[in-house]
Amino acid sequence: MTTSNDLIDQTVQEVATSSTNSVTEAGPVTKHSSKLIDAINQVFALFRVNYHNQFYSAYSDTNVLNQAKRLWLDALSYFTERQILQGAKKIIETSDYLPTLNRMLQCCEMSSEDGSLPSPKKAYIEACNAASPKCDAKWSHLAIYHAGQDTGWYRLTNEAESSSYPAYLENYRRICREISQGRKLTAPTLSEQEEKMVPLSKTELKLRLKSLKNELGFK
């Protein structure tokens, strides 16, 4: 029995076969690879098939369509062709509405090459709830830790979500793009700020107190 997902896969394959590398369609851009341009053209062809009336309403003329393609081409250039097509497929499977570029970015982020990257919101929640020291936390993906490190743990702990989440989102998206480009994330290390936050043992406290008394001349 043919399922809706099978039909979507078939459509993706048919569009990929019929789509040609057209720099004109996606705009006269030379800094992007032909494969990336093909992927963007395939995405818009898929959306035209699946969101027919909405598509022609949004992109009523060729100039508007070409401008949109150039915008999407630049914004999605950090992802692989596979991630872009997987993101488009996810949208088609889950939404009845023509997506915005922001929604497409979210779906591409969830389509990591190894499938292990969590959504930005889940990553943010995990980063906010992680215990200190952060280097000892059990991270579901190292990208979550590095985005938190770049955002600032104090900010994530003390600022409102309306302020801290946009900052975390920007860093997380950047790191996800770098991963798609081949970046290897290093294991967490104890930062100077975190080291100061780690509570001392009773023995260490006594030694610190004794040292301080000696420095001040107390006996």
Question: pLDDT per residue over 90-149, tens digit each?
Answer: 999 999 999 999 999 888 877 765 567 888 899 999 999 999 889 889 999 999 999 999
* Same domain (yes/no): 85, 11: yes
* Same domain (yes/no): 34, 64: yes
* Same domain (yes/no): 76, 154: no
Q: How far is CA 109 from CA 2, 46, 78, 207, in A?
A: 29, 19, 10, 49
Judged against a pLDDT cut of 60, whether residue 190 lies above it is answered with: yes
What average pLDDT does the segment 185-212 reach? 65
Per the CB < 8 A criterion, the answer to whether 120 and 109 are in contact is yes
Judged against a pLDDT cut of 70, whether residue 196 lies above it is answered with: no
In a domain, 204, yes or no: no
Q: Tally the domains of the chain.
A: 2
Q: Indicate the pLDDT class of residue 195, thresholds 50, 70 and 90.
A: very low
Per the CB < 8 A criterion, the answer to whether 145 and 188 are in contact is yes
Say how far apart CA 169 and CA 161 lie, in whole Å: 11
Among residues of the chain, what percentage have pLDDT more than 90? 48
The structure's pTM equals: 0.59
Degrees, nearest 5: CA angle 8-2-5: 30
Q: Indicate the pLDDT class of residue 211, thresholds 50, 70 and 90.
A: confident
What average pLDDT does the segment 51-57 reach? 95
Euclidean distance between the first and final Cα of the chain, in Å?
Answer: 87
Judged against a pLDDT cut of 70, whether residue 24 lies above it is answered with: no
* Same domain (yes/no): 124, 96: no
Residue at a domain's end among 64, 83, 110: 110
Q: What share of the chain is helix, strand, coil (3-state, %, to 5)?
A: 65, 0, 35
In a domain, 106, yes or no: yes
* Same domain (yes/no): 94, 160: no
Say how far apart CA 16 and CA 46 lie, in whole Å: 9
pLDDT at res. 27: 47
Residue 73 CA, distance from chain mean position: 16
Degrees, nearest 5: CA angle 63-53-96: 115
> Which residue range is the domain that position 70 belongs to?
4-110
What average pLDDT does the segment 153-179 reach? 91
* Same domain (yes/no): 58, 97: yes
* Same domain (yes/no): 82, 148: no
Q: Indicate the pLDDT class of residue 160, thresholds 50, 70 and 90.
A: very high
Residue at a domain's end among 110, 134, 152: 110
pLDDT at res. 219: 61
* Same domain (yes/no): 95, 161: no
